[in-house]
Amino acid sequence: MTGTAGGATAAAAAAELFGWWAAALLLQVLFISTLSWPELAVAAAGALLAAAAARAVRRAATARTGGRARLLTALLLFPGALLTDTARLAAATARVLRGHRVTGRFHTVRLRPGSGTAWVCGLLSATPGLYVVDLDPAGPTVLAHTLPGRPTALERALTTGGRR
């Protein structure tokens, strides 16, 4: 029995590492202007280091990776949120350059039940408009810093109850 449980744990760890690696590799490849084999090899090695670090951070924070029910929806909404928040950041930067003050805020945000805390926080933090600062290990509540403006469709899909 122990061998089966250990095998399942090792398989889950390998699947998690592969997921983080694939996501990190995809992001790195998107930022490479001309894709060549040496650059791809360096990106793959860097993504492996990022995957190991992401798993270690997730385990240290006791965050869950499960909750894949909204994962496809979140991945489809991510590009729109990225563009929206990038435009919001550019507008905020332009306002600051014109001498105006732009202030972000800290909000308590409740994640939707059944969501995987690790991937939800990672995906939300990958946009310029919201960054998860802290999470409550006892519940699905996180402290997030946000740019001024309304929540994106991605944030609305992954959270409930709005910003407090």
Instruction: Give the tens place of pLDDT for each residue, 52-91.
Output: 988 887 776 665 556 666 778 888 899 999 999 999 999 9
User: What are the phi and psi torsion angles at 102 (to 5°)?
Assistant: -120, 125
Specify whether 68 is located in the same domain as 49: no
Specify whether 30 is located in the same domain as 84: no
Q: Which of 150, 149, 152, 103 is nearest to 125 (CA)?
A: 152
DSSP 152: P
CA distances to 16, 24, 41, 141, 161 from 44, rounded to whole Å, are 16, 8, 5, 33, 39
The amino acid at residue 134 is D
Containing structural domain, residue 54: 1-60
User: What are the phi and psi torsion angles at 99 (to 5°)?
Assistant: 95, 5
Specify whether 52 is located in the same domain as 70: no
Specify whether 49 is located in the same domain as 69: no
In the beta sheet, which residues pair with residue 143? 108, 134
Q: How many CB atoms sit inside 10 A of residue 17's CB?
A: 15
Q: Which of 36, 60, 84 is the last residue of a domain?
A: 60
Q: Which of 27, 106, 108, 23 is nearest to 58 (CA)?
A: 23
Specify whether 91 is located in the same domain as 48: no
Specify whether 26 is located in the same domain as 80: no
Specify whether 81 is located in the same domain as 33: no
Specify whether 46 is located in the same domain as 75: no
Q: How many CB atoms sit inside 10 A of residue 160's CB?
A: 13
- 101-155 tens-digit pLDDT: 999 999 999 998 877 788 888 889 999 999 999 988 777 899 999 999 999 999 9
Q: Which of 24, 45, 60 is the last residue of a domain?
A: 60
Q: Which of 113, 129, 126, 109 is nearest to 20 (CA)?
A: 126
- What's the number of domains the chain is made of? 2
Prediction pTM value:
0.62
